[in-house]
Amino acid sequence: MTTPPLALAPSLQHEARHAATGEPAWMRALLIGAALAFIALFLVLPLIFVFVAAFGQGISYYVKALLDPDALAAVRLTLLAAAISVPMNCVFGVAAAWAIAKFDFPGKSVLITFIDLPFSVSPVIAGLLYVLVFGAQGWLGPWLDDHNIKIIFAVPGIVLATVFVTFPFIARELIPLMQAQGRNEEEAARVLGASGWQTFTRVTLPNIKWGLLYGVILCNARAMGEFGAVSVVSGHIRGQTNTIPLQVEILYNDYDFTGAFAVASLHTFLALITLGLKTWAERHNAELNSPEVAA
């Protein structure tokens, strides 16, 4: 009977890993220091500067800038666009990922290419495409005008532009996850008599819920922060078609720097909340997929 090898102590395991990689201690310190310096210089300091500049004229001016009717309208429109576009992309993302990962069909590679299209097309060009189709001089412009339907320079156009730029996030998060899980559980459920909807709700959805949440968080962050495509289709109508990023641009161009940074700080705060939710979802997903939990 052979004796199993003795497990190394944690400190010896730590030393063994460093010995295996072969890099000297000064190199590790240099790389870590360079990374921390880069983060501090290009990420942390700008964020601090946003909040410092936002309170540059005192709390009363900060509150006044946030309670301005145009700023409140921008906040409402931003949340509305996100509230509409994220669920739409959630439905599409789950359906597309399920079809791509669980089934084989003609045109599968074409569908994957179209999902990645917003990553390669500039948001400004996407906005111009919508103007070309739905604008007053566009393909459908005369028909829309005859039926008193307004898309460009209105909320529907902003929602369409937001849907386009956030199109890939949920699908791209779920496709590799579903492919890694395989089809065995779904096929077993179907053999046992489950319907397609029962298979999805009781087998597929529980397995992807944390990946889906992660994709929704990323999609929501992108929806609230979109500028290029929304800027093209919005028309910059104050109090009506300006989202938070557009409102910041208008205040900055009007030389109301403190007001611009005040509204920007609100957007930054929403981004930090999104980052916190993203980190929480990543940590929870990592814990569920850890070897100890799997065992």
- Please state, in angstroms and rounded to a whole number, the distance separating the CA atoms of residues 20 and 45: 36
DSSP 105: -
Q: Which pLDDT does position 244 carry in this prediction? A: 94
Residues 10-27 pLDDT 10s: 555 555 555 555 677 888
Question: Across all residues in the chain, what is the average pLDDT?
Answer: 86
Residues 81-102 pLDDT 10s: 999 999 999 999 999 998 888 8
Q: Which pLDDT does position 42 carry in this prediction? A: 87
Q: Which pLDDT does position 289 carry in this prediction? A: 59
Cβ atoms 220, 274 nearer than 8 A: yes
Token duo for residue 170: 């949920």
Looking at the chain, how many residues does it have?
Answer: 295
The average pLDDT across 249-254 equals 92
Token duo for residue 207: 């397995």
Cβ atoms 242, 70 nearer than 8 A: yes
Q: Cα–Cα distances in Å, from 190 out to 21, 71, 124, 253?
A: 48, 52, 45, 60
pTM: 0.81
Residues 202-245 pLDDT 10s: 888 888 888 898 899 889 999 999 999 999 999 888 889 999 99
* Torsion angles phi and psi, residue 291, rounded to 5: -60, -35
Residues 141-166 pLDDT 10s: 899 999 999 999 999 999 999 999 99
Q: Of the given ranges (95-99, 193-197, 282-286), which has the lowest mean pLDDT? A: 282-286
Q: Which pLDDT does position 248 carry in this prediction? A: 94
Residues 29-61 pLDDT 10s: 899 999 999 988 888 898 889 889 999 888 999
pLDDT band, very low/low/confident/very high, at 186 (cuts 50, 70, 90): confident
pLDDT band, very low/low/confident/very high, at 124 (cuts 50, 70, 90): very high
What is the percent of the chain where pLDDT is above 70?
88
